[in-house]
């Protein structure tokens, strides 16, 4: 197997596994940019995965065919947003500790999703979903030599949506008045308030959007990777997304890069074990490689990562 063949295995695999992380990390960026810490990404993702799986199952029964996963994504977005409303209410309106409210959301999501699964299906997991999204070659582009094999073959459409959305989020956050307001609320809410920005409303909007993104991430995970929802479906991906957000310095394109980097590191570690170059490395080194690479990257190349200034602090009007 030549080096180019290996890359043609590793890169598409990385893009596939990165997509759910990208969606969720984007949600994290928006939320924290507005000054609300979101440890609850995992829970929102889990809830989205659950709702997505349930919808896909019933839409499939209604014979919606190939449209069923995409409709389910929309519903998962709404469900994730509604679910994140709890976090928004606790941490913005009631000024609770944002970390604790996020952790509570994680517990609530796993308990609630499993409970509902049992109620609906009378089983510990949802049935397997048959009507999923599937890997395809992108027409025309996949015929480009080399690059076509790397980036446009054997890929899910959702991966391109994820990358496209990162750019959209970047544009919205940095090139529109809305984005400027959102960021100002996260940096110095009092100053923003003085300028007539409704801090509470901005933060609510940001948390809801992040919930929608995380819900989408969960549903995409179900449709493209796991195929059903069980207690083990979302186990840590939300925290990976959180790490990708910090790694990406709270910047949408940074988060995109970090999520792709995680995906690549994992796909090299998984694929490496059966590839000529890496075969002689003891497998334990390959297994820890993604984490070691992340630490190295964080310590060596990324430099200082500064959180938004007002992140984690509830805004109280008139308080100095």
Residues from 229 through 288 that contact another protein (CB under 8 A):
230-233, 235, 266-267, 270-271, 273-275, 283, 287
3-state secondary structure of 9: helix
For 160, the token pair is 């391109």
- Out of 11, 13, 39, 256, name the contact with another protein by CB under 8 A: 13
Say whether residue 108 binds another protein (CB under 8 A): no
Structure tokens at 27: 């949600």
Site string for another protein, 155-194 (x = CB under 8 A): ----------------------------------------
**Range 242-245, long-range pairs (CB < 8 A, 24+ positions):** 242/25, 242/28, 242/38, 242/39, 242/41, 242/42, 243/294, 244/21, 244/22, 244/25, 244/28, 245/25, 245/28, 245/29, 245/32
Does 142 bind another protein (CB under 8 A)? Our answer is no
Verify binding: residue 297, another protein, rule CB under 8 A. Answer: no
Q: Is 148 in the site for another protein (CB under 8 A)?
A: no
**CB 201 within 8 Å of CB 93:** no
Distances (CA, A) of 209 to 27, 54, 85, 126, 276: 7, 22, 10, 27, 44
In our burial notation (b when 16+ CB lie closer than 10 A, e otherwise), range 17-53 reads: bbbbbbbbbbbbbbbbbbbbbbbbbbbbbbbbbbbbb
> Which positions from 52 to 91 touch another protein by CB under 8 A, shown as an x/- string?
----------------------------------------
Candidate residues 67, 128, 147, 195; the one interacting with another protein per rule CB under 8 A: 128
Among 225, 297, 298, 302, binds another protein (CB under 8 A): 225
In the set 227, 238, 248, 314, which binds another protein (CB under 8 A)?
A: 227
What's the CA gap between 27 and 216, in Å, rounded? 10
Q: Which stretch binds another protein (CB under 8 A): 69-77, 142-150, 187-195, 218-226?
A: 218-226
Spatial distance between the Cα atoms of 28 and 45, rounded to a whole number of angstroms? 11
Contact 287, 268 (CB under 8 A): no
Token duo for residue 245: 């957000």
Min dist CB 302 to another protein, Å, is: 24
Binding residue count for another protein, defined by CB under 8 A: 38
Is residue 106 a contact residue for another protein (CB under 8 A)? Answer: no
Kindly list the residues in this chain that would bind another protein in the complex (CB under 8 A): 1, 9, 12-13, 16-17, 118, 122-125, 127-128, 130, 132, 134-136, 221, 224-228, 230-233, 235, 266-267, 270-271, 273-275, 283, 287
């Amino acid at each position: 197997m030549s080096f180019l063949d290996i890359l043609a295995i590793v890169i598409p695999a990385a893009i596939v596994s990165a997509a759910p992380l990208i969606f969720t990390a984007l949600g994290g960026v928006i939320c924290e940019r507005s000054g609300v810490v979101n440890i609850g990404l995992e829970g929102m993702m889990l809830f989205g995965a659950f709702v997505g799986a349930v919808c896909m199952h019933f839409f499939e029964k209604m014979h919606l065919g190939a449209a069923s996963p995409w409709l389910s994504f929309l519903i998962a977005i709404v469900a994730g947003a509604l679910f994140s409303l709890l976090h928004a209410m606790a941490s913005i309106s009631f000024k609770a500790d944002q970390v604790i409210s996020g952790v509570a959301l994680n517990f609530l999501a796993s308990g609630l999703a499993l409970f509902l699964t049992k109620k609906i299906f009378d089983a510990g997991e949802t049935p397997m979903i048959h009507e999923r999204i599937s890997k395809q070659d992108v027409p025309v582009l996949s015929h480009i030599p080399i690059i076509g094999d790397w980036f446009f073959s054997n890929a899910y459409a959702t991966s391109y949506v994820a990358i496209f959305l990162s750019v959209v989020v970047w544009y919205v956050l940095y090139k529109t008045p809305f984005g400027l307001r959102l960021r100002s609320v996260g940096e110095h809410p009092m100053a923003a308030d003085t300028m007539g920005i409704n801090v509470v409303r901005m933060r609510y909007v940001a948390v809801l959007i992040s919930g929608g993104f995380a819900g989408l991430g969960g549903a995409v995970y179900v449709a493209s990777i796991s195929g059903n929802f069980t207690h083990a479906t979302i186990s840590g991906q939300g925290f990976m997304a959180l790490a990708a957000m910090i790694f990406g310095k709270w910047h949408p394109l940074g988060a995109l890069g970090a999520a792709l980097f995680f995906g690549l590191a994992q796909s090299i570690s998984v694929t490496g074990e059966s590839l000529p170059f890496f075969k002689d490395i003891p497998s334990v080194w390959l297994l820890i490689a993604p984490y070691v690479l992340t630490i190295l990257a964080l310590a060596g190349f990324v430099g200082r990562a500064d959180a938004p200034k007002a992140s984690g602090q509830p805004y109280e009007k008139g308080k100095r």
